[in-house]
Amino acid sequence: MDNANVIVSDLDGTLTVDDKAVPYPEKPAAADVVEAAKAAKAAGFKLVVATARNMRTYKGDVDLIRTHTLPVVEGWLARTGVEHDGVVVGKTWCGPRGFYVDDRNLHPEEFVFRFTGPLARRRVDVVTLAPDVTPETLGRLHEVNRRLERWLHVASYRYLVGPAAGDELPPTLRDDAFAAALRLPEWPGDGAAAKAWLGTTGDSVLLADGRVDGYDPAAFFGCYAADLTERPPAGGLVAVDPLPPGTHPAASGMVLIDAAKFHAWAAKLPDDHRFLPSLAATAGVLGARRLPALPSVTPRLSAKEAAALAADAVRHCVDAGLIPPVDVHESRAA
């Protein structure tokens, strides 16, 4: 398994429901986590179960644990139908209030959403418009975006950057085989920048805005995972509405959209068009789920500016043939 992608899963309280009154052989399965484990196997991952079971009982004697505990674990996995590629016993028990710290760790909620949630079958290209980022900021931005792998199957990370990004990619980007940056000698406008790189490898695009360092798109899924699971986005289209009253939409939002719709919409944008605001403002017209963006420090827009932006977005979707002609009435609010 040297070059394989492996899911290393805990057993008690993760694959099992941790009921102290029930003997180990009869522990009920955590159905959602077991289904996610099966889905991960079906997707090509190896599955290894690592457990601290009986480490206290046998005072850390791994030989005794292999003799008495391992057969019980193997029997439970067989009865539950969890195909696996190995069981590791003797894991250090962290105590009743301790933790396991790992940079590749998934919480069970993330694991279930990632492999069986409403977006589990999608391969997502993460496209970030970052005209003003420095190399240092670009590196931090990529670290933030990589957290999306907790929730989504990310096919690639694509950054559209301006001259401030410099000639050398930051190590976090350079060392990631799934990440690339397209440098533009000058920023021609969001529309032109996006059309310079419309080719994608996945079936969906997550569009993020890199103008403000610190917006964490993965935090959105952490906030809304249960809501999205309960009410899956119609047509596989999710939109984060970055238009809370009086805030600038490009600074605090993202959009997840079918790649075909993204391409059709983006290809017809004017070169100087503000990219993310228009798509986000139009999401409701396209039938997308609209959910509030997480709080962010952003510049202010007047009600009139926000209404004009939304009206402009609808017009561009009509021009791109994504929606039928509609009457657009701009607000007269001051």
- Give this prediction's pTM: 0.83
Tell me: pLDDT of 84 over 70.
Answer: yes
Residue with the larger pLDDT of the pair 122 and 314: 122
Who's near 171: CB < 8 A, 6+ residues apart? 139
Residue with the larger pLDDT of the pair 331 and 258: 258
Q: Quick count: other Cβ atoms within 10 Å of Cβ 225?
A: 20
Residue with the larger pLDDT of the pair 132 and 241: 132
Q: Quick count: other Cβ atoms within 10 Å of Cβ 161?
A: 27
Mean pLDDT, to the nearest integer, of 127-133? 86
Tell me: pLDDT of 204 over 70.
Answer: yes
- Among all chains, which residue has been given the structure tokens 């997707």? 43
Tell me: pLDDT of 297 over 60.
Answer: no
Q: What digits encode the pLDDT tens for the residues 148-173? A: 999 999 999 999 898 999 888 899 99
Backbone angles phi, psi at 125, to 5 degrees: -95, 125
* Exposure string for 296-326, b = 16+ CB within 10 A, e = fewer: bebeebeeeebbebbebbbebbbebeeeeee
- Residue 244's pLDDT band (cuts 50, 70, 90): very low
Percentages of the chain per state (helix, strand, coil), in multiples of 5 = 35, 15, 45
Residue with the larger pLDDT of the pair 297 and 42: 42
- Vertex 321: Cα angle to 320 and 325 (nearest 5): 110
The kind and range of the H/E element at 291 are: strand 289-292
Question: What is the pLDDT, as a whole number, of residue 326?
Answer: 56
Q: What is the percent of the chain where pLDDT is above 70?
A: 73
User: Are residues 11 and 53 in contact, defined by beta-carbon separation less than 8 angstroms?
Assistant: yes
Copy the structure tokens of residue 191: 């529309």
Question: What is the pLDDT, as a whole number, of residue 331?
Answer: 36
How far is 313 from 78, CA to CA, in rounded Å? 54
Q: Quick count: other Cβ atoms within 10 Å of Cβ 139?
A: 17
Q: Is 63 exposed, middle or buried (0-12, 13-18, 19+ CB in 10 A)?
A: exposed
Q: What digits encode the pLDDT tens for the residues 301-325? A: 455 665 665 666 666 667 766 666 6
Q: Where are the beta strands (DSSP E) in 19-152?
A: 46-51, 87-89, 123-130
DSSP per residue, 27-78: PPB-HHHHHHHHHHHHTT-EEEEEE-TTTTTTTT-HHHHHHHTHHHHHHHHH
Domains and CATH numbers, the chain: 6-114 (3.40.50.1000), 121-319 (3.90.550.10)
Q: What is the percent of the chain where pLDDT is above 90?
A: 44
Tell me: pLDDT of 123 over 80.
Answer: yes
Q: Tell me which residue of 128, 129, 141 sits closest to 170, measured CA to CA.
A: 141
Q: What digits encode the pLDDT tens for the residues 30-75? A: 999 999 999 999 999 999 999 999 999 999 999 999 999 999 999 9
Mean pLDDT, to the nearest integer, of 230-244? 62
Question: What value does the mean pLDDT of the chain take?
Answer: 81
Bridge partners, 87 (sequence order):
49
User: Are residues 17 and 29 in contact, defined by beta-carbon separation less than 8 angstroms?
Assistant: yes
Q: Tell me which residue of 190, 131, 142 sits closest to 164, measured CA to CA.
A: 131
- Among all chains, which residue has been given the structure tokens 């792998």? 149
Backbone angles phi, psi at 59, to 5 degrees: 50, 45
DSSP state of 29: B
DSSP state of 65: H
